[in-house]
Amino acid sequence: MTSRETGLLRVEDRRLLTGQARFVGDIHLDRMVHAAFVRSPHAHAEIETIDTQAAAVAGALAVVTASDLPFINETLFIPRWHPSVRKVLPKFLATDRVRFVGEPVAMVLAPDRYLAEDFAALIEVRYRPIAPVASATAALAPGAPQIHAEWPGNIAATFTHAVGDADAAMASAPHHVRRTFHFGRQTGLPLEARGCVADFDSSRNALTVWTSTQVHYAVRQNLAMLLGIPEYDVRVIADDVGGGFGTKSRPYVEEILVAHASRMLRRPVSWVEDRLENLQATTHSRAADTTLEIGFDDDGRFLALKGRVVIDSGAYSFTGGIITAEVAASHAAGPYKIPNIAIEVVCAGTNKTPLAPYRGSGQPEAAFPLECLIDLVGGSSGISPTELRLRNIVAPADLPYSIPSSYAGKSNIESGDFPAMLQRAVAASGYHERVETDAAGRRCAWGLAVGLESTGFLNYESARVQVDTRGNVLVYSGLTSHGQGHATTLARVCAQALGVDEERVSLRLGDTQLLPFGRGTFASRGTVVGANAVHGAALRLRERALVYAGQLLQSDPAALTIEGGRILRTNGEATPLGLGDIARGVLPYGQFHEGAMAFEETFLFDTKNQLTFALSVHAARLIVEPRTGAWHLLDYLVVHDAGVMLDEKLVEGQILGAVVDGIGGAMLSEIVYDAEGQLLTGSLADYMVATAAEAPRIRLDHISTLPTTNPLRVRGVGEGGIIPVAPAIINAICRALVPAGAVPPSSLFKLPLTPEAVLEVIEGLGHGVNAQAS
């Protein structure tokens, strides 16, 4: 049944909505056994002894500890590191010390997960607790307990991102505003937690792993390297993946351990992460304290930006390491022309779960301080914040505008009309800078913020397009799919480039067996890099088809075209040929046969390391109840530039989902540890995310300008929807509460912003609020 017949917008939805998807938990193999992990209950402790005797006696199939691992002295392979990183990767299982609650210490194998957990409870680990480091401030304090010998002063990395001469420019700037901002620790929280099934075939020395990942090729590379199996004998399948949001964009130790166990036991092994493990051991993100100062002139032109970003990095430089810190520093100035920038970054080691990207990956962390600071400049200078943004934002006349970044080299904003988007957002939303008060004293205000999204990061993606003798088209992609709708968009890209009906195109991805090289889906790269690979392969195949058709029809290929899978003359006249006939000609015994076994083309799309930038402007209207500090959103508008939209509904879905995610991040979500480094938010009753009830009406307005960075002229849309959400909301709350001319207290710049914190601010402002309210 086609999507047209089902009425569903996406090809994949019928399978996903009728329970026919295949997630890791749906894989059941003959003789399969189950793994459970013994995880550290301590934030920081020496391991004195591990006694596995009782578990073995009770019937555990195996108990694995660090000393059993032949690769214990190796590390996961990381393709790139920032030069300042002091590399300390986690051991696969803790050897002599544990450094965060949830760090794996032992793996237990049993016939089912229930028994595996029973046996895990029988393993006796004797710990000698060490004083923990439970916050970045504590980590950097003199005399703090040291987490790693390699991290003197608990500094995992430190560097300065500099453009121009920020010190001199700041000193000579006539006006300054400076503030400190706290972005709480949060996590991406996919609905399907992590998990993998490994099946090692000892007769062939070959390994197949089904895993819930965004990066199947990177997982393959690590499995091959660490287990000593040729890469072509390792097959990694990421079939249906129930969400990633960046948390699955790197290999994890559990994938290696489960594969090791399968080889050891000669049986398939399954491990499905439960939610407690997910909140303890899947990477966290954000956790950034930023002090930012801006210098500006009498006209509100930004002259200098200086800042210090302290990231609460957790216990290891995990795979992906400090990329969020790099991105936060590189994008500290957002889309604004600030000629002098100096951002000092300190990644502080703490006894917490390691940090890695989560949707936006450093860009929400950068936009929150910057966009709030611009509103503060507005308050201090008397110039409207919208006007300040218009005066300083990169305009079409400034293009190309260079954004130097440590993670992607020198990149240009080469297209877009940012001032027009700002003006459109103001006009379309009804945004204004007044405060409205109702009879009950509740205060309503708008807030606005801008987000710059760097998309298409990490070069190269692969695709292959094949046509069979019936004219059916098969697309292979190096991407993974976890909610993006690739089966819909990639099929459409191929159909349009090749000249066939979408219904004839099917997609295969998420399997390293399909193509020798690929990367996966993360960093808003699916369409920018992946769809362009499909586009390139389909165009090549089309070109070849027309050459063959020209030979058969004795026509200039330029006088031919392909529509609905049929070869037509450009004047619209039909020919007897279809793509299937061409494919028959290319195959053995066909008239064009030159040794090919399929009518196909493979394409590796090369971005030339150029990023594609996408801007979005968010306007939020909210109401604050002054008696309780509670606030909720009344209206929300996003103006976004996705370039060419491959599917408007899917673009909108990405943005809506990301906005709701960002609303949760601004009002609810925080991973909380106590002073002993104990995780207090180990369930979804305590780690709260936004639900439908917290989501206001969200209006979307698209402006499409065409990027020159890629042939499809698309911009990525996975992350832009979350980047400016928090500052749009906080700017609205500041406007609602703080009388003009007064300085908002710093407690308003802490995410998530709780009603309790808001009430304290209201009480602190005293009559200021009430006087205005009356």
- Positions touching another protein (CB under 8 A) are 113-114, 117-118, 121, 274-276, 627-628, 630, 668, 672, 680-681, 683, 685-686, 688, 690-691, 693-694, 755-756, 759
CB closer to another protein out of 297 and 756: 756
Distance of CA 394 to the CA centre of its chain: 25
User: Minimal distance in Å, beta carbon 25 to another protein?
Assistant: 13
| Pure H helices in 299-362 | 323-330
- Report DSSP letters for 129-142, one per residue: E-----SHHHHHST
CB closer to another protein out of 172 and 628: 628
How far, in Å, CA of 772 to CA of 774, rounded?
5
User: Minimal distance in Å, beta carbon 653 to another protein?
Assistant: 22
Omega within 30 of 0 (cis) for the link into 104: no
Question: What are the distances in angstroms from CA 441 to CA 245, 537, 626?
Answer: 39, 62, 7
- Cα atoms found within 13 Å of the Cα of residue 157, Cβ hemisphere only: 29
How far, in Å, CA of 681 to CA of 668, rounded?
12
CB closer to another protein out of 370 and 668: 668
User: Minimal distance in Å, beta carbon 42 to another protein?
Assistant: 18
User: Minimal distance in Å, beta carbon 356 to another protein?
Assistant: 23
Question: Which of these, 521, 524, 531, 519, lies nearest to 490 by C-alpha position?
Answer: 531
CB closer to another protein out of 574 and 680: 680
User: Minimal distance in Å, beta carbon 628 to another protein?
Assistant: 6
User: Minimal distance in Å, beta carbon 88 to another protein?
Assistant: 30
CB closer to another protein out of 176 and 275: 275
- Cα atoms found within 13 Å of the Cα of residue 91, Cβ hemisphere only: 21
Question: What are the distances in angstroms from CA 696 to CA 120, 636, 718, 773?
Answer: 45, 7, 20, 24
CB closer to another protein out of 59 and 400: 59
User: Minimal distance in Å, beta carbon 753 to another protein?
Assistant: 12
CB closer to another protein out of 265 and 688: 688
CB closer to another protein out of 552 and 689: 689
Report residue 69 as tokens. Answer: 């691992």
CB 687 within 8 Å of CB 669: yes
How far, in Å, CA of 260 to CA of 124, rounded?
23
CB closer to another protein out of 622 and 668: 668
- Report DSSP letters for 256-279, one per residue: HHHHHHHHHHTS-EEEE--HHHHH
CB 728 within 8 Å of CB 620: yes
Q: Which amino acid is at 719?
A: E
User: Minimal distance in Å, beta carbon 566 to another protein?
Assistant: 51
Question: Which of these, 530, 402, 537, lies nearest to 467 by C-alpha position?
Answer: 537
User: Minimal distance in Å, beta carbon 756 to another protein?
Assistant: 4
- Name, in order, each residue with C-beta under 8 angstroms of 129's C-beta and a sequence gap of 6 or more: 42, 44, 45
User: Minimal distance in Å, beta carbon 115 to another protein?
Assistant: 9
CB closer to another protein out of 344 and 694: 694
- Cα atoms found within 13 Å of the Cα of residue 629, Cβ hemisphere only: 16
User: Minimal distance in Å, beta carbon 195 to another protein?
Assistant: 13
CB closer to another protein out of 277 and 365: 277
